[in-house]
Structure 1
Amino acid sequence: MSQDKVSLLRDPAVGVSTSLEGARTYDSVETQPAQEHNIQINSGPRRLPQYVAAITATLSALSAGAVLGWTSPIQNDIEHGQFHNITVNSDQMGWIGSFVTLGGMIMCVPTGFLCDLIGRKKTLLLLIVPFAIGWSLILFAKTIVMLYLGRFFTGMAAGASCVAAPLYTSEISQKEIRGTVGSYFQLMVTIGIFLAYFFGKFLTPMNYTIFCACLPLVFLVTFAFQPETPAYCLSKGLYDDALKSLVRLRGTSHNNEAELAEIEGALKESLENTISMSQTLRKKANLMAFLIAFALMFFQQFSGINAVILYTSDIFTSAGANLDAKTAAIIVGAFQAVATFVSSLVIDKLGRKILLFVSSLVMALSSFILAIFFTLKSRSSIDDDVLNEIGFIPIVSLCVFVVVFSIGLGPIPWMISSEIFTPEIKSVASSAAGTFNWFLAFLVTKFYLQVNEAVGEDSTFYAFSVMSLFSGLFVYWVVPETKGKTVEQVQEELER
């Protein structure tokens, strides 16, 4: 079967290149092409190969989670010069935590273009380069600058995985399991954070760092054998490669030719419907969609989640909890991973809006209770024995905070971006929202410790509580329910 010659135009709506000329015809989709490839069409597609491909691809997210959680277990070791004999102050520690977010921020948009240029699979495999450079700089650091650069490069890899991995998993999965497969990315991030917390307690700082540095290698070895997405192959006119990919992902008993026809038709339709960004922004619905996407990203970050993840151990140490701070961090990480798994099971049943609303309000309450504890500890004459007796409050509050975040304000802002934007602006809008998210994460992680020193931990968590409360009010009054609705239906609601 020969490949058609095509002329390729980039489609910013779906983040791929699509064919205008040389489109294949499918007059006998179920007969001749299937016979040519000896495909027996008598049953549904296999799901196991899709699950395996998605899991191996999102091991990049697990590696990114380890990057995010790396500072928490060894923060005290770093600050006291027990890691490479480099002593750092609170301001420098803030930079060590926040350089990851700067690296992630600059990679959102370029990664989308790279996925179009060389493919989703190759882009994911190339993540090993910034991962390797970053962890090598951290492992062999002689100065604080090398630590900064190491965190920056690992952050670049983490940011790129946020774009490439979800794109890959969405394109290799059939629509019946796309929601489940799509949840793997956030789940793997939380598992990576949990592993960082767990091994950070039992290993020396150097051995712990070596463990984190090896995770991208596990991703590279397991994912290297997976196929490119059929959609990308079709966008480049590589019909035979697209068919081989689909056969590997669905099995030989599936009507792969018919599904390829459907994919190519969707790519062509998306290109034909593309309009300019200026025309798009004249519609009230699209402006409202931008407002919702950016506002949810704002509330997500200023709920304080990144401060909690990066400085969990420090928060428990400051609280004077009886439980070892690293053990408490492991508990928090475990709750986050389990809650994220549970959220993947209920998000399509309960709906986005109710989960966002409840998540925001409970997070506001949890932050408020934690702030009260810090007020009692630092601004009152309460007896130390009493404080020790209520030392469980930080653990309970943060566990509840992480659980409700993981079922609502954590995953849903990313999901809603794909459900409220029209196809012609989805790629650009989602990349812009992602960049904005990483920028806000930088602000929170960089200045969290300094703000704590200036106004106190209680004031910081009072502010996080207020932001979460505002988030709940915004969701209630502005955000539409998107469960079970098409983009057109959501757009009609936003236009009112």
Structure 2
Amino acid sequence: MPRSAKGLAIARPDPNNHAVCGSFEFGSCVGYSAPTQSAIRQDLKLSLAEYSMFGSIITIGAMIGAITSGKIADLIGRKGAMRTSSAFCIIGWLLVYFSKEAWSLDIGRFSTGYGIGIFSFVVPIFIAEIAPKNLRGGLATLNQLMIVCGASTAYLLGTVITWRTLALTGILPCVFLLVGLFFIPESPRWLAKMGLQKEFELALRKLRGRDADVSQESADIQASIDTLQYLPNARLFDLFNGKYTRAVIIGVGLMVFQQFGGINGIGFYASETFVAAGFSSGKFGTIAYAIIQVPITPKKCPDPLRALPLPDQIPITMVIAKSQVYIASFSIGMGAVPWVIMSEIFPIHMKGLAGSLVVLVNWLGAWAVSYTFNFLMSWSSTGTFMIYAGFCALTVLFVVKIVPETKGKTLEQIQASINSLN
């Protein structure tokens, strides 16, 4: 069980366990298109361009979700935002399940995109706001792990069930989340910001444990909130005020480099990418991709792999090894860290507006990569991956020169240190 900074057990049920159902849903939505590409194109007679639109329109919905996510989370709370997101995802999956034409398929995909656009903002924010400082990084990384698990589950299930049935499985994480939200507290920082003092203290005590001494943490949060009374309401123009410029550059820059490393192009179309690499069945590649996303790799291939046709004259181990290095590196680094940093660097009165901008940039990049991937691969597979490699190299320079270390600091300390560098 997670423990507070003073070693006291956090009260059950653990809110992180419920919140990351949203992350699992995020992964399920993103991973849906990879194992279903051939079946959907065949059943609905979609061209490559039409399927590329279906695969990438989720990111357009997510962009709009990102634009509105901060406002929704500030207005109705972090829990209210997660409920709203779940509702859009459920509606979207049902539309996909009942689709007979490309337009209804796209609307459903767009709706799930809007939902995960909100999830991608509110889940890491909620985790950062409720977690003790010594656990915040690890718990925020759990967000990325659950995204990976959701995508891997979609990849694996998509090889053995129909694309319509797979759509129905995407509803389950939302149902678990909606039920779980009845049993967990709201973000104490949001409650304090809204002036709900009694609810703020109850929520903080429930999170830290009945016997925990929360007086210092409560005072620090309240002092930070009190300073907001003397500040005007946040406006978009304020993001470019010198006081917040460095935080915006860090947040936006990390999201740009995360996406242009190519992860969503590879993830959205994993099945066809492995076919292009020489595997005679897209299912083998999809299952292999799903396995290597999870940090603990099985010692031997699962039984379904033995029944699938493998490529002749192709160095299988090299293909899988390279994929393993790429996915593992992404998952422990640029997959998780930008979301952690985004949730830490902005003060609470700017978090909604700034977080929306950062998440919007992330989904703009995701759309650009996912929509152009198939066309770039048709141009040159080598050239495509060289472009992504170039962005990965630039990421190293950006992190070394610009991004601060946030380990072991409270949110208020992180924000103060960034402001001191402006």
Matches within 5 A, 1:446-461: 446-453=371-378, 455-461=379-385
User: Aligned residue for 2:307?
Assistant: none
- Confirm whether residue 250 of structure 1 aligns to residue 208 of structure 2: yes
* Alpha-carbon distance in 2 for matches of 1:401, 1:169: 27
Displacement after TM superposition at 1:310 (Å): 0.7
Letter in 2 for 1:118: I
* Alpha-carbon distance in 2 for matches of 1:246, 1:475: 33
User: Aligned residue for 2:146?
Assistant: 188
User: Which structure 2 residue ranges, 5 or more long, are not aligned?
Assistant: 1-5, 298-309
Displacement after TM superposition at 1:308 (Å): 1.1
Displacement after TM superposition at 1:409 (Å): 1.8
User: Aligned residue for 1:379?
Assistant: none
Displacement after TM superposition at 1:55 (Å): 1.1
Letter in 2 for 1:152: F
Displacement after TM superposition at 1:203 (Å): 1.7
CA contact (8 A) 1:49 1:250 kept: no
SS for the counterpart of 2:294 is helix
* Alpha-carbon distance in 1 for matches of 2:351, 2:204: 25
TM-score (ref. length: structure 1): 0.73
Relative to structure 1, the CA distance from residue 251 to residue 416 in structure 2 (aligned partners, 3 Å threshold; closer, same or farther) is closer
User: Aligned residue for 1:348?
Assistant: none
Relative to structure 1, the CA distance from residue 475 to residue 115 in structure 2 (aligned partners, 3 Å threshold; closer, same or farther) is closer
Letter in 2 for 1:217: V
Matches within 5 A, 1:360-399: 388-399=313-324
- Confirm whether residue 338 of structure 1 aligns to residue 262 of structure 2: no
Relative to structure 1, the CA distance from residue 161 to residue 339 in structure 2 (aligned partners, 3 Å threshold; closer, same or farther) is farther
- Confirm whether residue 63 of structure 1 aligns to residue 21 of structure 2: no
Relative to structure 1, the CA distance from residue 478 to residue 249 in structure 2 (aligned partners, 3 Å threshold; closer, same or farther) is closer
User: Aligned residue for 1:33?
Assistant: none
Q: Quick one: which of 322, 339, 347 aligns to 1:414?
A: 339
CA contact (8 A) 1:316 1:395 kept: no
CA contact (8 A) 2:53 2:371 kept: yes
Displacement after TM superposition at 1:415 (Å): 2.8
Q: Quick one: which of 258, 276, 285 aligns to 1:328?
A: 285
Relative to structure 1, the CA distance from residue 422 to residue 157 in structure 2 (aligned partners, 3 Å threshold; closer, same or farther) is closer
* Alpha-carbon distance in 1 for matches of 2:127, 2:116: 16
After TM superposition, the structure 1 stretch with the greater mean CA deviation from structure 2, 329-338 or 401-410, is: 329-338
User: Aligned residue for 1:9?
Assistant: none
CA contact (8 A) 1:319 1:391 kept: no
SS for the counterpart of 1:175 is coil
CA contact (8 A) 2:25 2:147 kept: yes
Matches within 5 A, 1:99-118: 99-118=57-76
- Confirm whether residue 169 of structure 1 aligns to residue 131 of structure 2: no
After TM superposition, the structure 1 stretch with the greater mean CA deviation from structure 2, 169-178 or 386-395, is: 386-395
Relative to structure 1, the CA distance from residue 123 to residue 296 in structure 2 (aligned partners, 3 Å threshold; closer, same or farther) is closer
Displacement after TM superposition at 1:188 (Å): 1.2
Matched pairs, number: 400
- Confirm whether residue 432 of structure 1 aligns to residue 357 of structure 2: yes
Q: Quick one: which of 49, 64, 72 aligns to 2:12?
A: 49
SS for the counterpart of 2:170 is helix
Q: Quick one: which of 86, 92, 95 aligns to 1:128?
A: 86
Q: Quick one: which of 399, 402, 406 aligns to 1:475?
A: 399
* Alpha-carbon distance in 2 for matches of 1:149, 1:65: 19
* Bigger Rg over Cα: 1
After TM superposition, the structure 1 stretch with the greater mean CA deviation from structure 2, 460-469 or 397-406, is: 460-469
Displacement after TM superposition at 1:407 (Å): 1.6
1:334-361 C-alpha deviation (Å, 9 max, x unpaired)? 3323289xxxxxxxxxxxxxxxxxxxxx
User: Aligned residue for 2:302?
Assistant: none
Letter in 1 for 2:360: T
TM-score (ref. length: structure 2): 0.85
Considering only aligned residues, what root-mean-square deviation do their CA atoms show, in Å? 2.9
CA contact (8 A) 1:44 1:253 kept: no
Matches within 5 A, 1:78-97: 78-81=40-43, 86-97=44-55
User: Aligned residue for 1:308?
Assistant: 266
User: Which structure 1 residue ranges, 5 or more long, are not aligned?
Assistant: 1-42, 341-384
Letter in 2 for 1:335: I
Q: Quick one: which of 388, 394, 402 aligns to 1:464?
A: 388
After TM superposition, the structure 1 stretch with the greater mean CA deviation from structure 2, 239-248 or 180-189, is: 239-248
Matches within 5 A, 1:214-233: 214-233=172-191
Letter in 2 for 1:465: A
CA contact (8 A) 2:124 2:339 kept: no
Displacement after TM superposition at 1:256 (Å): 4.7
SS for the counterpart of 1:58 is helix
* Alpha-carbon distance in 2 for matches of 1:243, 1:481: 30
Relative to structure 1, the CA distance from residue 484 to residue 211 in structure 2 (aligned partners, 3 Å threshold; closer, same or farther) is closer
The percentage of aligned residue pairs carrying the same residue is 29
* Alpha-carbon distance in 2 for matches of 1:247, 1:160: 27
Displacement after TM superposition at 1:286 (Å): 4.3
Letter in 2 for 1:225: F
* Alpha-carbon distance in 2 for matches of 1:432, 1:293: 9
CA contact (8 A) 2:61 2:112 kept: yes
1:234-277 C-alpha deviation (Å, 9 max, x unpaired)? 33333333333334323322235664444322211244466977
Displacement after TM superposition at 1:45 (Å): 4.1
SS for the counterpart of 1:141 is coil
User: Aligned residue for 1:76?
Assistant: 38
1:128-161 C-alpha deviation (Å, 9 max, x unpaired)? 2201210111010121000000000001111101
CA contact (8 A) 1:79 1:87 kept: yes
Displacement after TM superposition at 1:392 (Å): 3.3
Displacement after TM superposition at 1:304 (Å): 0.6
